[in-house]
Amino acid sequence: MIPNLLEGVRVLAVEQFGAGPFGTLHLADLGAEVIKIEDPKAGGDVARSVPPYTISDDSLYFQSFNRNKRSLTLDLKHPDGARVFHELVAQSDAVFNNLRGDQPQKLGLLYAQLKAANPKIVCCSLSGFGLDGPRQAEPAYDYLMQAYAGWMSLTGDPAGPPTKSGLSVVDYAGGVMAMLGLVSGLLRARQTGQGCDIDVSLLDTAVSMLSYVAIWALNRPFQPQRLPDSAHPTLVPAQAFQTKDGYLVIFCAKEKFWRALTEALDAPELVDDPRFGSFAARYRHRDYLIADLKRRFLTRTTAGWLARLRGNVPCAPVNSLAEALVDEQVLARNMVMEVEHPEFGVLRQVSTAINQPGGLKPARPGPSLGADTEEILQSRLGYSQQAIDQLRQRGAI
């Protein structure tokens, strides 16, 4: 059997809520042993109680981020808890946290604090604002990052208020960015024998994703504007159009796609019109062209247009969530998986987007709080039942 890509890698994850667990979920899916360190005094990861679908110490929200992981309850502020943690660090490859920027130092999660236990340990921190800077100690969430980084000013109808994305895109991108840093650190540690700190912030991630609009704004007198119908700022036509029964997105990113669109519209007069003969010309005459195209797209259903356009013009239906999850391409790529949960039953959930040789192993549900505490202490550290009971009596686990 082909081993998973990260088979044999052990990560201690002091994580909570969405951004960090989303990142380590991919490590777990790729075969790494991800041990969630959960504070017993706080009731573990706060995601366990996120509504609307909850049971005791668990929720569907928690399950979406935590399959294939293990749970160890450990109070890192307790002297015995810190000692156990250092013993685990000695046998691990990485320590990950997604705490507030001032917390890793306070909890002893940085490389300088852990290298004595394991000089090869990679310590990755994902915080809202980073491990330094004037807002280091402030709490941060995806919604705030979309506001801080200017995303909301770019999103939404021009007649409406600034708008956030319908998903926590900064959280998810920050989680993936942190995992790229963590795995890069692991590669270097294996080459050099020396670990390091990896510092990723949600704000840095969001700002980095401004990409081309940032270079326009930093180097030219570019003033971004929100456009109707989710239109692209410069490419025309590239936006949503209403059809007889829904909405359709068209994205003519090349001249050949524009010509193919005019053929599908049975509108040779458009391709011959000098006002629309190039990207720059269509941009200058956007208002007239879009008004014309809107009238044309209203003449057929979304399915009717897809039959004409697919394979020739980049296009997509604006699916509902339910429609997206049964899309034939999504199902063909096995992006919906099943996980057997002891209380929720069979849970259907989305899979990781990374395909690996041999495919994914059968998935385990997200662990119950502290489900693996005794087994980890016994098998990894050689603790006796008596020693474990003492740690529990002292409040360390």
- The catalytic site residues sit at 171
Give the C-alpha separation, 306 to 291, whole Å.
20
Here the tokens at position 374 are: 């005794």
| Residue 142 exposure: Cα atoms within 13 Å on the Cβ side | 18
Cα distance between the two ends of the chain: 37
Place of tokens 């720059």: 280
Give the C-alpha separation, 103 to 131, whole Å.
9
Q: 206-212 long-range CB contacts below 8 Å, 24 or more apart?
A: 206/145, 206/146, 206/148, 206/149, 206/151, 206/170, 206/173, 206/174, 207/149, 208/177, 209/149, 209/170, 209/173, 210/149, 210/150
Here the tokens at position 188 are: 């270097």
Give the C-alpha separation, 330 to 348, whole Å.
14
Give residues with Cβ within 8 angstroms of 340, minimum separation 6: 346, 347, 365
- For helices 385-394 and 79-89, what crossing angle results, to 10°? 130
Sign of the dihedral through C-alpha 20, 34, 31, 334: negative
